[in-house]
Structure 1
Amino acid sequence: MTHRAVRPERRWYRLAIAVAVLVVLGVIAAVGVRWLSRNSDAFPMSTPWGPDCAVWTGEEQVRLDRDQARRATTAAAVAVQGDGAPLGAPDTSDIPDAVMTLLEEGPEEDAGPSLTCRSTKNPGLEVQEDLEPSGLTARAQRLKDGLDEHFSDLSLGGYHPGGYDTGHGEDSAHYEGRAIDIFYRPVNEENRREGWVMAHWLIAHAPDYEIDVIIFDDRIWSTYYPSLGWRDYEAADPDNEILRHLDHVHVDVQRGLEASAEG
């Protein structure tokens, strides 16, 4: 059986077609990102390239590296807590004033979200099944310790000594001691604002505490879709404030080698 050789000009033709397709796809992607960056309803969003974090000021997207996001959200948390803050505010002189004002006070017509960051799963983590005296895994306990270090007078729940086996949704991370609920009650604009300060701090520090999922105020962020930022969260009962996570920020840490479920 003989094989016909491909003519050089055909090879170049095929290569040119492939390059043209890639160029077209690149243009479509660039236009899509540019459109999203001008659409306030679609933000915040962090693209898979460039700095990890993004803030949507309502007029433009401001990109922050991870260290800037950590410092900005920590400074915002200190400002909101006032004299009761356990720690002082870090230097934020390299971060635009508009970003800091937004993180501290929120958008004029809405509490948030204003910032997102991308963070992926750590493939090297081992599954933690043993619980600390608190009822949390060691990884979740480290997150709790971090919260206690940076925030005062927190109302925490979603865990207890010995762990939970009922009271939460199916396959909830609470049953494994991997989740913490941070309550902001009653549901009102002031508490909603403080809840978003916390949610922003968590997303900025996600890699530090191996955070997997954050849910608050009908929004969800997770390491499953890190570049999509805050997505709409659909509760099983749209009339239930607790299931919609309106009165608390839910955060859970990564389980380890096995995949975990959102929520």
Structure 2
Amino acid sequence: MLRRAAALLTTTAAMLAGLAVTPASAHTYSIISGHTVTVRSGPATTYGSKGSVTGGQRVAIACTVRGQSVTGPYGTTDVWDYIHLEGYISDAFVYTGVSGPVGPPCGSDQLHWDPSEMRLGVDQPGTRRLYNEMKAKPAWNLRGGDAHFAGIYVNKPGEHGEGRALDYWMDIDRPAEFQAGWNIANFMKDNARSYGVQTVIWNDKVWLASNPNAGWQEYDEIGNCGDSSKRCKHNDHVHISQNWAGAVLKTTHWM
């Protein structure tokens, strides 16, 4: 089925190649102009409506499933996309650049990294639940209550602004927190597939799902944050961000 422009095929291939080890899945894509598409609770037109998206609107595709075949302006497909609005839309009306799925299967543990391209200003459910799980572990909640919660910071750019990154106060100058911070960081790295974690930063080190075999790498606090302060080095907080599948509860841990 010829559904997309050749120029977008080239662009998509270049973006995937740039990640080298694991693919980016979601980015964001546009609804095809001239169409209003119902966001549904399941992958068929018989499922209930959860709202709609309109032509030109950008959506993040978290994951994909096979469902009812739907005919759109470029042909027919049974691919349905679970988007950041927490519902399914037919891929027949999404301008992705390829004829097949662009996201991982919903409910999988596929390791990937999704760049941030939108400012949404809302917490994502998987990110909030990730924090709640962290807080519930006594060995990680040394200060009690919500005292470790630095925030999801939806007013910031990047993954924070999409609501799928959180910061968790830990201070390297407190020996117990220094060790707990590394316990958290290693747990998130080791369980990145099931939780949908894509970036972990702690104690001036970074792990990226886009290059997982590199392990912990030196973090460029100047290039990424602007200075060598304790905050920029991530010596006073652990930073954790999720891919879109993890952020909307569509990886193995959440399903």
Higher helix fraction: Structure 1 or Structure 2? 1
Query: How does the TM-score come out when normalised to structure 1?
Result: 0.42
Give the greater-gyration-radius structure (CA): 1
Higher strand fraction: Structure 1 or Structure 2? 2
Query: How does the TM-score come out when normalised to structure 2?
Result: 0.43
